[in-house]
Each structure stands twice: as C-alpha cells, then as structure tokens.
Chains A and B, each alone.
Chain A
Amino acid sequence: MHRRMFPWLAVAGLLVSACGGSAEPSFPEDSFGIVANRDVGTGSSRVLVGILQPDGARLGSPDISVDLVANPIDDPADTQSAPGIFTWIIEDVVGLYRVEFEFDRPGTWEITVQPENGDTLAPAAVNVLEETFSPNIGDRAPVVDTPTLAEFPYAELTTDPMPDPRFYEISLPDALASGRPTVLVFSTPAYCVTAACGPLLDLVKSMADDYPDTNFVHVEVYTGLTEPDFQPDPAHLAPAAGLDGWSLPSEPWVFVINENGIVTARFEGAMAADELRAAL
C-alpha cells in the first residue's frame, strides 16, 4: 500500500518543546492538529484547528488553553502567535480552536498548536491562497439569483426538515438591493448530517429573531431535490454555489454582507454565535 508521510511529520520532533513543568499534559502524546478549513487567503484570515488522536478521538475544550503559531513553511523564524478560541461545533461533544492570522504571503504555512501544558504538537499545513475561491472580506457579493417560496415549495428549496420561512422569502439579489445587511447561509442539511453542517443552519436560525432588520437567506447547495434521479453530485450543484456564483470550495458557509453589498465576514465549516453577533 502506498502511503505518504507529510514532510512536516519528519521534522516534528525538532519542533517539540517542553513547556509544561510538572503539570499534566493538555493532550496525549499521539495527538495532532489539523486545519479544518481550506479557503484561506492572504491578509487577515480565519483558521480552524482541530486536535485529535489517530483513533478519531476529538480533543480540546474551553478549559484547555492553547496558543496557535503560524509560519511560512520555508521561513520557520517568521512566526506569529495568538490564543486559540475554542468553539463548540456540538456543545460538549466536539469543537475546534479558531484564530485570525495575518498571512502576508501565499503558499504553504505551518500551524502549530502549543498547549498550556505539555509538548507542542506536530504542525499542520495550510495552503494560503493569493485569491480565495469564494468571495473574501471586502469583496462585492456576487449577485446570483436564488429561489424563494414565492416560486417553489419547501421541498424544492431546502433539505432542512424544519425550515424557517424567513430564510426563503427574499432572493439574494433582492436582499442585496434592500439596503439592509444580509446573512447568507450555504448548506445542505440532509446531505451533510454530522457534526459541522447540520448545526450551522440551526444556529443561524436560532439567532435570526434577534436581528429583525437583517435579511436571512439560506441556499441549498444542491438543486433538483425532487427529481426522481436526484443525486447530490456536481450535476446538481446549485448555480449560486458554483463557479458562476459564489465558487464555494466546500460547504457549509455563512457570509455576512453589509447594506452596500460588501462581504464583511465569512465563516467556513463552523461558526460560533458570538462570531456572527460580532459581524452583525
């Protein structure tokens, strides 16, 4: 069987530092970090880091403090560090550490987890893009038509089993022209049913009542949901999610767009309520 070791694994031992004194290590020896989001661009960019063991045991909690350190893979001395903010994906079950880094150049960067106690974990790699796939902060929101309840029944609009009508009452073009901020959610609840995707739309739905003057638009990632031969495949990708729309490299996503049609926040994969509140 062909297996490839990432180069950074080979040098992991060189990066280990003792920093815990006699305290119990924060994480077991075989734990490692992964970067859980992919559409990371130059400039200020949000990075999600998961910590796990080879058997899939997910580690980390609000009680375990970590610093996250970033450096270009070809310039280990050019580091920046920030505390990781723990974010539950499912409360008390699984979560990630999030951080904002200022990436001053594209290319491969290493993200290293330094726990409060115990050894530094082997670095994970992230490819920082010159241009992100989906619209970045400061970009004008692409105006792409999205279906609404005025034209289609819920069954063709969403796979959410408990849809909130507010999320399907206004199309994206009308929302962007309304002079009000817009929260745009791309997700497919029925075809992405584990930890990350299902709860994200539910979280946004739970917060919508707090923002009566904001548009909320949910776009199902797939279209043709009621076709007999429907498959969640590229042929059924919703136009708004594809290359002629928001060019999503993954899902789910939440974008916040201001009253002038400019993207002011973007969240890939997972998001905490406080992040959306801060963006609104």
Chain B
Amino acid sequence: MQQPADPANQLEPTGSVEGVVIDVEGTLGAVSSFTVRLSDGTDAIFVPVDGLLFAGTAPIDHVRDHMVSGAPVSVGYTTLADGTLSALEVGDA
C-alpha cells in the first residue's frame, strides 16, 4: 500500500500564521483547501501538501472540527511559484 507522503521530508515552511478556520473545501479524507482568517481580518487560503496530517496524527479533515469549534490553528506554509500557499504543517495554535 502506498504510504502518505511525509511533507516534512520534502519542503520546509517559510512562514507560519495563526488564525481561525472559516472554510474547508474538499471531501472526507481529501481536503483540497482551507481558509484561515488571520488576526488582522484578512483571509489566507492554504492547499495542504499530499499526506498532511493535523498535528502529525489526525486526519487533515480535523480542520473542519476547528471550523465548528472556533479553536485557532497554526499553519506552517511555503509559497509556491504560482502564489499558492502550500500548507506543510497544521496544528492547534
């Protein structure tokens, strides 16, 4: 069986933010993007890298739970050439 990619072995975060999840796109087990509202009121859309787990243990879908609960998240990311924010780490803030 193919193992999920380990994002930590591929890219290193170049930035990190904290905020609240206000939108999650995708299907169960396959989040295509999620939106975090930052403390200054702006929104950042992140595309999770393949195989990304929440806090390294939970499915990335867990960001939906944070959207429901309002509990802030932290996101480590890198900006790809096309401007996409690629989420490499996500966990509780």
**Residues of chain A contacted by B65 (CB below 8 angstroms):** 192, 194-197
**Residues of chain B contacted by A188 (CB below 8 angstroms):** 59
Q: CA of A191 to CA of B65 in the docked complex: distance in angstroms?
A: 11
* A231: interface (CB < 8 Å): yes
* B49: interface (CB < 8 Å): no
Residues of B within 8 A of A (CB): 1-4, 15, 19-20, 22-24, 26-30, 37-45, 51, 53, 57-59, 61-62, 64-72, 79, 83-85, 93
Interface pair B42/A233, CB less than 8 Å apart: no
Q: A233-B29, A249-B28 are in contact. List 6 more A-B contacts (CB 8 A).
A: A3-B43, A9-B41, A30-B41, A55-B39, A231-B4, A233-B53
17 contacts between A and B (CB under 8 A): A2-B45, A3-B38, A50-B67, A50-B70, A56-B70, A56-B71, A96-B68, A191-B59, A194-B66, A195-B71, A196-B65, A196-B68, A221-B28, A231-B53, A237-B28, A241-B28, A248-B28
Interface pair A89/B41, CB less than 8 Å apart: no
Interface pair A233/B66, CB less than 8 Å apart: no
Q: CA of A3 to CA of B66 in the docked complex: distance in angstroms?
A: 20
Q: Which residue of A lies closest to B64 (CB)?
A: A250
Interface of B is mostly: mixed
A-B pairs with lowest CB-CB distance, top 5: A195-B69, A56-B72, A234-B29, A58-B70, A232-B59
Q: CA of A1 to CA of B62 in the docked complex: distance in angstroms?
A: 24
**Residues of chain B contacted by A195 (CB below 8 angstroms):** 65, 68-71
**Residues of chain A contacted by B84 (CB below 8 angstroms):** 2
Q: CA of A34 to CA of B67 in the docked complex: distance in angstroms?
A: 8
Interface pair A233/B4, CB less than 8 Å apart: yes
- 0/1 per residue, A240-275, Cβ < 8 Å to B? 011000001111000000000000000001100000
**Residues of chain A contacted by B68 (CB below 8 angstroms):** 36-37, 48, 50, 89, 96, 195-196, 269-270
Interface residues on A, range: 35 or more
Within 8 A of B (CB), among A185-236: 188, 191-197, 221-222, 229, 231-235
Point out the residue from B2, B40, B61, B70 that lies within 8 Å of A250, measured CB to CB: B61
Point out the residue from B1, B19, B57, B85 that lies within 8 Å of A2, measured CB to CB: B85
* A277: interface (CB < 8 Å): no
Interface pair A232/B58, CB less than 8 Å apart: yes
Given contacts A191-B59, A237-B28, contact A4 B45 (CB under 8 A): yes
* A94: interface (CB < 8 Å): yes
- 0/1 per residue, A133-161, Cβ < 8 Å to B? 10000000000000000000000000000
Q: CA of A234 to CA of B61 in the docked complex: distance in angstroms?
A: 10
Interface pair A234/B30, CB less than 8 Å apart: yes
Q: CA of A197 to CA of B67 in the docked complex: distance in angstroms?
A: 12
CB distance from A46 to the nearest CB of B (A): 14
* A52: interface (CB < 8 Å): yes
Q: CA of A192 to CA of B79 in the docked complex: distance in angstroms?
A: 28
Interface pair A34/B22, CB less than 8 Å apart: yes
* A166: interface (CB < 8 Å): no
CB distance from B17 to the nearest CB of A (A): 8
Point out the residue from A1, A32, A229, A249 that lies within 8 Å of B1, measured CB to CB: A229
Q: Which residue of A lies closest to B29 (CB)?
A: A234
Within 8 A of B (CB), among A97-111: none
